[in-house]
Amino acid sequence: MTITTHRIGDAAIDVFEVGAGPPLLFLHSAQGFDPAHPFVAGLAANRRLIAPSHPGFGRSSLPDWVDSVDDIAHLYLELLDRLDIEKADLVGCSIGGWIAADVASKVPERLRRLVLVGPVGVKTGPVDKLDIPDIFAIPADQAQRLMFHDPARARVDFSVLDDATMEIVARNRETLAMLAWEPYMHSAKLRHRLHRVDVPTLFIRGASDGLVSADYLARYAALIPGATIVTIPEAGHAPQIEQPERFVEIVQDFLK
């Protein structure tokens, strides 16, 4: 695994790379990217896995002008240019799925296949009701129960974390709020552009996901022509974490 800081304008973006083969761009969830997770090695088994840390997440900088998913999507388009990648497979999880869908709506010709894992980013339900539970307004233990099939396995003991790690945890949450607070967890415009996505697209959802419901995902998938859905049992909002082997198997089979 290598970590390179790419400067795009005044943005400094840390990019993790591992493996060799056709390029696979992986866009992480709000928890950030941890190269130690087992699914990472699985995806990189026969791919050049490229995983940028989003602006404001991890140690990537957050320029003042970056305040939307749309801004991040444009930065990643330039990152593909910097890396001399003309066409890639794209996998995005949660808010990373939102970014991935935005990228796909802009330049579908630069993608080969698209995988969206528990994505947010569009409004599909009634205007007076949230599609995604408000994770900023509920207690942390309740949020854990919504996010994970087995919350006990995902619980973090913050008392043992060093200051640098705690700063990253706080920074990730702060940036998520900035990007997704208003309007909450969606762009009012993205749904009207998704018909442009003309590449094979797979939606993945954990069966126990309490944030992204099956109905929401079905309505989301209906916005992309020909998109299909796979559900992973015994997994919540992060099936790549709770069921890494099954997750990698599904993604690798689809990308073939």
Q: Write out the chain's pLDDT in tens, 256 residues.
A: 999 999 999 999 999 999 999 999 999 999 999 999 999 999 999 999 999 999 999 999 999 999 999 999 999 999 999 999 999 999 999 999 999 999 999 999 999 999 999 999 999 999 999 999 999 999 988 999 999 999 887 777 777 888 998 999 999 999 999 999 999 999 999 999 999 999 999 999 999 999 999 999 999 999 999 999 999 999 999 999 999 999 999 999 999 9
Report, in angstroms and rounded to the nearest whole number, the Rg of the chain calculated over CA atoms.
Answer: 17
Dist. CA 121–CA 143, nearest whole Å: 19
Q: Model pTM?
A: 0.97
Q: How large is the greatest C-alpha to C-alpha distance in the chain, in angstroms?
A: 47
Q: Say whether 26 sits in a helix, a strand or coil.
A: strand
Domains recognised in the chain with CATH numbers: 2-255 (3.40.50.1820)
